[in-house]
Structure formats: structure tokens, C-alpha cells
Structure 1
């Protein structure tokens, strides 16, 4: 199965993923899947992801939405960005129990 199809199916239901940047331990971060990119927040009231910088190559680990077991590891490039209003609202809405604030938003683009 093509990686983008697997990612699309899993990330539509996932509210969080594990991000690993070179030389650092994986960190669980809240995310939003949109337009074949994964949007993640870092810092502020959210976990900081060491090594996550503009242009960083990272590994995204996705767990199965139904069994919570390991589903896939995918390589991505992080792009520091300013989210549009719709994406910012989706990132806030995903955090049902808190009022999130963040220092940075990254759009992760996956290699095919």
C-alpha cells in the first residue's frame, strides 16, 4: 500500500503522533492532518520537541487508531509556518481539555 494512503487513513483519526528528530528521544505531540501535510505544535503549553526546527528531517511514528499498536514510521521534513485560521482552530479544537498555546507550528511534509 502506498505510504500516503496509509498515512491519510491513519492521520485522519489520530490526534497525536510521535516525532523523533536526529539525536533526540521521541516526543508525543498533538497534530492535525490537512492537505497531505501533518501540522504539529511545539512549546508554550504544549510539549517542546527537541531538534524540531525549520528544515529538520524527522521521523513520524503513527499508531493504529483502532488498536493503538505501531502502524508506520514515515520520514518528513519540518517547515516552520504560520497556520491559517482554519488550521489554528483545528489545532485548538483537538485539545479538548485545555486552552493550548504554542511557540511554533510546523507543517511536516512526507516523502513518498
Structure 2
């Protein structure tokens, strides 16, 4: 099975992934899979991810949504995203237990 299809299936169901920017350890972060990219909101009331800056190389670790076992480690590049209202609404609605207020949103683009 092609890895992009495997990742797509897993990330559609994932609520969290592990992100490790270069030079930093992995952090379990809430993430949203949208339009072929992983979105991570940081700052404000959201998580902090040291080293997550525009252009940072990151290792994204994805677990199987059914077994929770390790599925893949993928190299990504963080890109600061300008979030439109539709994407902001999707980010807010995915957070069921809080009203998120973030400082930045990054797209983790597959290398």
C-alpha cells in the first residue's frame, strides 16, 4: 500500500501526532488533517512546540488510529499559515472541550 494513502487514512482519524522540530525532542500535539496537510495551532491557549518556526524541518510521527502502534515517521517542513475563516472554524470545531485561542498555525508539509 502506498505510504501517502496510509498516512491519509491515519491522519483523517488522528486527533494528535508527535512533532519533533530539528534540535528538539518530540512533542505530542493536537493536530488537524485538512486538505492534504497537517495543521498545528500553537501559543495562546494552545500547546507550545519549541523550535516550531517557519521553515523548520520536523519529524512527524503518526500512529495507527486502530492499534495506536507506530505507523510512520515522515519528514516535514513547517510553514506559517494564514488561516482563513473556514479553516479557523474547522480548527475551533475540532477542539471539543475548549475554545481555542492560538497565536500561530503551522502547516506541516511533506518533504
State the TM-score, normalized to the length of structure 2. 0.93
- Structure 2 counterpart of 1:69: 69
**CA displacement, residues 3-34 of structure 1 (integer Å, 9 cap, x when unaligned):** 21111010000111110011211111111112
* 1:82 CA drift (Å): 1.5
CA distance in 1, matches of 2:21, 2:42: 13
* 1:67 CA drift (Å): 1.2
State the TM-score, normalized to the length of structure 1. 0.92
- Structure 2 counterpart of 1:48: 48
Runs of 4+ in 1 over 3 A off after TM superposition: none
**CA displacement, residues 30-63 of structure 1 (integer Å, 9 cap, x when unaligned):** 1111221111111111111111000111011111
- Structure 2 counterpart of 1:25: 25
**Residue ranges of structure 2 left out of the alignment (5+ in a row):** none
**Residue ranges of structure 1 left out of the alignment (5+ in a row):** none
Computed over aligned residues only, the root mean square deviation of the Cα atoms, in angstroms, reads 1.1
